[in-house]
Amino acid sequence: MKIAGHTLGTPDHTVPEALRLFKRAGLDAAEIIYQNDYTSGLGIQDTAAATEAARVAEGEGIPIIGLTPYTMAINATDDHTRRAAVDELRTAIDTAHTVGANRIRVYAGQWQAHQDDYEAHWAQLLRSLRELSVQAQEAGVILCPENHFGTMTQTARDTARLVREIDSPSVRVLYDQANLTFTHDEDIDEAFAVQGDLIGHVHVKDLVFVDPDAPFVASETARVHAEERAVRSRVVGDGSVDWAWILRRLWERGYDGILSLEYEYRWHPQDLDDPEVGFRRGAKYLRNLLSDLENKSSTHNSEVLS
């Protein structure tokens, strides 16, 4: 498994600056936000910025492996709105080709439990992803609906259901256990039981609960506002998410993809170390866990052979 930095953690750096920071922090790759008006992101259809990012990534030896759009309306029942969202994700696939990325984070529409017409929105979500999956497959890109609040795949069970209904090799699960934890949905073993065979990408972050009994509340999809939070963000390894067990389960499943450090400095800087420190510490912690797994695997194999 390789470890990537995510530009959610570098809001005050340009994309080239973020790539250089990831290099200094000892990371292997980068995941870049795809959104207008964000300093550490690639603007929508900004070909010049994408080309420059690709050039810097190659020079630094930090390949861009993924893009993170914030497109939300692919489940809209108004088809004009839905079509505009699909078209925006089509540009993300084109930009992924420009920068050499092969993963795109996808919000599975926008959804709150109090809304009506669930089945109609679900049908539009399926329609959109089936359309996009054709272009993605031709481009060699995997679309990854995330376990994410405020969407139609908040739970692992719903994410797995969506991917299975799409039934395309170009649509796979983006596993985010921290999201599942603070929304009080599946624990690690439950998440692997329902979606473990479908994981195509992994977001890594950590947290501690301020009030573990507080119900989850989020009025937006992209972030949880300060007054709604029952958790605090932490550098990976300093929180309560059991990353040793998660990596063990990924290892057992044969996952050999990217672990993307989704350092939430854009949203919650008050909780976290400076990005350069936080990324370096998080990467070191993950590398130690991976090294332990490799050593245990080598020991086991030696014992079996003897």
Q: Where are the domains of the chain?
A: 2-305
Q: What is the pLDDT of residue 305?
A: 47
3-state helix, strand, coil in the chain (%, to 5): 50, 15, 35
**pTM across the whole model:** 0.96
Rounded to 10°, the helix 118-139/79-99 angle is: 30
The candidate with the shortest Cα–Cα distance to 99, out of 163, 148, 56, is 56
The candidate with the shortest Cα–Cα distance to 87, out of 102, 64, 69, is 69
The candidate with the shortest Cα–Cα distance to 202, out of 90, 298, 91, 286, is 286
Q: What is the dihedral of CA 67, 70, 71, 76, to 10 degrees?
A: 140
pLDDT in tens, 262-306: 999 999 999 999 999 999 999 999 999 999 999 987 665 555 545
Q: What is the assigned CATH class of domain 2-305?
A: alpha beta
What is the percent of the chain with per-residue pLDDT over 70, rounded to a whole number? 97
What is the percent of the chain with per-residue pLDDT over 90, rounded to a whole number? 96
Does the pLDDT at position 118 exceed 80? yes
Residue at 109: amino acid letter: G
pLDDT in tens, 67-112: 999 999 999 999 999 999 999 999 999 999 999 999 999 999 999 9
